[in-house]
Amino acid sequence: MTSRHRPSENTVPSTADGANTLIPSRRTVVKAAAAGAVLAAPLAAAPPASAAGVAPAFLHGVASGDPLPDGVLLWTRVTPTPESIPGSGAGPDTEVSWVVATDKAFTNIVTKGSTTATAASDHTVKADIRGLSPATDYWFRFSAGPTDSPAARTRTAPAADAAVAGLRFGVVSCSNWEAGHFSSYRHLAARGDLDAWLHLGDYIYEYGTGEYGTRDTVVRPHAPAHEILTLADYRTRHGRYKTDPDLQALHAAAPVVAIWDDHEIANDTWSGGAGNHTEGAEGTWAARQADAKRAYFEWMPVRPAIAGTTYRRLRFGKLADLSLLDLRSFRSQQVALGDGEVDDPERTLTGRAQLDWLKSGLASSDTTWRLVGNSVMISPFAIGSIPAELLGPLAELLGLPREGLALNTDQWDGYTDDRRELLAHLRANAVRNTVFLTGDIHMAWANDVPHNAATYPLSASAATEFVVTSVTSDNLDDILKVPEGTVSAIAAPFIRAANRHVHWVDTDRHGYGVLDITADRTQMDYYVVSDRTEPDATSKWARSYRTRSGTQRVQRVYAPV
């Protein structure tokens, strides 16, 4: 068992339980030059250098996810031969065993088993372990032939009826491989105090090399070099991401709870297509979506929940439950602003079944806190009188018309009937302590979620929302190619003036959040990294906001937990 240190507050840790479209909302047509494609092609085709030696090998790390009081989902990918690279469809069936222990030395083994990795699942392996003790640290590893994988830590959730003093989660979103290194993951892994970490979407990006904002500098090229369209392509891209040492370190440090947003499939995904999909020229949407989702579930330690989507609910004792949303599989197509369709009750972001499931779960919850893993921002957003030189880049980042109309139709703002119904349900059922945890927008926000933004703060707040910035994906200073912080200094006051429920917005920096939960309050500590392009980037605390129990409002805190 690892020791678990909580810095300043006397909050005993616990765990979990179970039951973007941003930026170029339009695809950049800067296709990689022929020379660039030639340079990147070998990266997609050739096995990593470390695969040239003895096989089998564990080149993509190990991971765990979706912790329950009595179990957790374990994951790895085995490379049985040097030719068996992700997406290749090559390689023999390989027996892979796993072992779970209460100590890193594996002297006290509590369970073990084996399964067969095959080319049909891209040689990925999942083991859904049960029979474990609640709120307990465990160590696990896999073996194939003479080769052991790295050892990794995981942690089960508290018992459903347990009185839990505290929980701590890392919170991240939007990690573009080409734009930089994943230092945020490394810093979260190094903490050693996480019960789990949440990835709120855009774990991978689908674009080809050089097609997605990177300040015109590709820090490290994708594999494959082209935009991913097929099952083999999505598998290859997931495989490239899983070679990142910082990502491997975080997966080995704590279980992940993940949902997808659009880039796991294609930019501006909706139920029947995507902004970044051309029917016919890029195959059928149905085939592409099915291939992307299949690869996601192969490569991620996520349990498919309802109808093969990512919406599901986890419980963390009596302290909190976490409703995880899939806001891509059921949504109506995004609409242009100004045509009134954003208010059409026939259009939906969630789909009827998911919205009913969410409403029922929030109303019947008996936990102190109701967390909602939410891929796109639910708080309303109006641009207001932002200076002309910032309006274009902000519109690009938010997917807005450059004329500066007031909504982002890819967020809840584009599906206002769903939002009205949900917030009215919270009011009618006196549902308190609902906290939305959001990614997608490549900026950090701390928001109240008002019933009526026009009359706020004189009217009531239904919930609160903490939005984390991107791990690496472009934010405003990257789009404008100006020094970090200069845009926020100008834009943030205008944004807050037009949106009185917004307590804070940082438009410029990259990083992560740490969510700390006690019975009295939920606090988000925002951290930023020094330089996304540097593999050894440092991290520092930026701001903190909390929601006190019963208030449904955000309050600034002047130190991290």
CA distance 59 to 77: 7
Q: What's the pLDDT score for residue 486?
A: 86
Q: What's the pLDDT score for residue 384?
A: 64
Residue with the two structure tokens 């090229």:
221
Q: What is the mean pLDDT of residues 254-270?
A: 98
**The pLDDT of residue 465 is above 70:** yes
pTM, rounded to two decimals: 0.88
Q: What's the pLDDT score for residue 454?
A: 85
**The pLDDT of residue 22 is above 90:** no
Among 15-24, 125-134, 350-359, the range scoring the smallest mean pLDDT is 15-24
Q: Which of 471, 473, 454, 484 is nearest to 396 (CA)?
A: 473
CA distance 469 to 420: 26
Q: What is the mean pLDDT of residues 3-14?
A: 34
pLDDT in tens, 394-430: 666 665 544 334 468 899 999 999 999 999 999 999 9
Look at the alpha carbons of 547, 320, 313, 200 in this order and tell me if their dihedral is positive or negative: positive
Residues in contact with 42: Cβ distance below 8 Å, sequence separation at least 6, in sequence order: none
| pLDDT over 70 percentage in the chain | 85
pLDDT in tens, 148-158: 999 999 999 99
pLDDT in tens, 471-508: 999 998 888 888 888 888 888 998 898 899 999 999 99
336-347: b or e for each residue (b if 16 or more CB lie within 10 Å)? Answer: ebeeebbeeeeb
Q: What's the pLDDT score for residue 77?
A: 98
CA distance 280 to 275: 14
CA distance 15 to 242: 25
CA distance 274 to 282: 11
**The pLDDT of residue 435 is above 80:** yes
Q: What's the pLDDT score for residue 385?
A: 60
Report the SS3 class of residue 364.
Answer: helix
Q: Give the length of the chain.
A: 561
The arrangement of strands across the sheet holding 320-324 comes to 312-316, 320-324, 369-374, 434-438, 461-467, 444-450, 502-506
Q: What is the mean pLDDT of residues 288-306?
A: 93
Q: What's the pLDDT score for residue 283?
A: 96
Q: What is the mean pLDDT of residues 326-341?
A: 85
Residues in contact with 65: Cβ distance below 8 Å, sequence separation at least 6, in sequence order: 72, 73, 75, 255, 256, 257, 258, 300, 301, 302, 303
Look at the alpha carbons of 363, 364, 367, 371 in this order and tell me if their dihedral is positive or negative: negative
Among 210-214, 227-231, 464-468, 501-505, the range scoring the smallest mean pLDDT is 210-214
CA distance 316 to 135: 9
Total Cβ atoms within 10 A of residue 349 = 27
| Cα angle 67, 186, 488; round to 5 | 105
Q: What's the pLDDT score for residue 476?
A: 85
Q: What's the pLDDT score for residue 392?
A: 65
Look at the alpha carbons of 143, 148, 150, 155 in this order and tell me if their dihedral is positive or negative: positive
Cα radius of gyration (the chain)? 22
Among 1-15, 116-130, 228-242, 356-370, the range scoring the smallest mean pLDDT is 1-15
Mean pLDDT of the chain: 88
Q: What's the pLDDT score for residue 338?
A: 60
Q: What's the pLDDT score for residue 528?
A: 98
Q: Are 275 and 26 in contact (CB under 8 A)?
A: yes
Residues in contact with 328: Cβ distance below 8 Å, sequence separation at least 6, in sequence order: 260, 261, 262, 265, 269, 270, 271, 375
**The pLDDT of residue 44 is above 60:** no
φ, ψ (nearest 5 deg) of residue 407: -125, 155
Pairing of strands 124-129, 152-155: unpaired
Q: Which of 516, 542, 508, 545 is nearest to 528 (CA)?
A: 542
